[in-house]
């Protein structure tokens, strides 16, 4: 090209360029992935169940607790792991052995779960000697009052 200041003919070496736009795309992709992953984390350690409503429920700190979930079908889970009744008892005793003084148990019961299934879980927790038992509920909506 006439008047060009590139200083070379067709055989000159081209300089490498760093393209910023693809770099920004990658950064936004990583940011979006992190945000979606963070939002997908569930506060509760248990399986997803429809919790019963309560007007007097207070927020709780799930750290340091074992979560026992009783589903609508009457099955049980220990921290998102489905367990049989025998496994439940073994894990409960092990949890109390590992935390003899500060053991706390959170019971997640589906609102349509059998009352006797939830009471069974509560009874077994008390039999082992754990006195700090929390029952998880969801706040009653203002529209439902």
Q: What is the mean pLDDT of residues 123-127?
A: 89
3-state DSSP assignment of residue 127: helix
Range with the poorest average pLDDT among 56-60, 64-68, 134-138: 56-60
pLDDT in tens, 11-62: 678 888 888 888 899 999 999 988 887 776 645 555 566 566 666 666 666 6
* Cα 12–Cα 13–Cα 16 angle in degrees, nearest 5: 150
Q: DSSP code of 129?
A: T
pLDDT in tens, 73-123: 888 888 888 888 889 899 989 988 888 888 888 888 877 887 888 888 888
Mean of pLDDT over the chain = 78
Q: DSSP code of 51?
A: P
pLDDT at 13: 83
pLDDT at 141: 64
Q: So where are the chain's domains?
A: 53-144
pLDDT at 38: 76
pLDDT at 7: 53
Task: Note whether 124 and 89 are within 8 A (CB).
Answer: yes
Strands 65-70 and 104-109, bridge-based pairing? parallel
Residue 32's CB: how many other CB atoms inside 10 A? 10
CATH fold for domain 53-144: Nucleotidyltransferase; domain 5 (3.30.420)
């Amino acid at each position: 090209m006439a008047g060009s200041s590139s200083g070379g003919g067709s055989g000159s070496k081209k300089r490498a360029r760093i393209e910023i736009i693809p770099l920004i795309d990658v950064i936004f992709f990583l940011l979006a992935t992190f945000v979606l992953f963070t939002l997908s984390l569930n506060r509760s350690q248990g399986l997803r169940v429809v919790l019963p409503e309560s007007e007097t429920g207070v927020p709780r700190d799930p750290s340091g607790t074992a979560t026992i979930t009783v589903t609508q079908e009457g099955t049980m889970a220990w921290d998102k792991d489905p367990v049989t009744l025998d496994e439940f008892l073994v894990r409960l005793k092990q949890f109390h052995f590992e935390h003899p003084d500060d053991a706390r148990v959170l019971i997640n019961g589906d609102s349509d779960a059998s009352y006797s299934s939830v009471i069974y879980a509560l009874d077994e927790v008390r039999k082992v000697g754990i006195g700090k038992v929390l029952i998880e509920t969801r706040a009653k909506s203002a529209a439902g009052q």
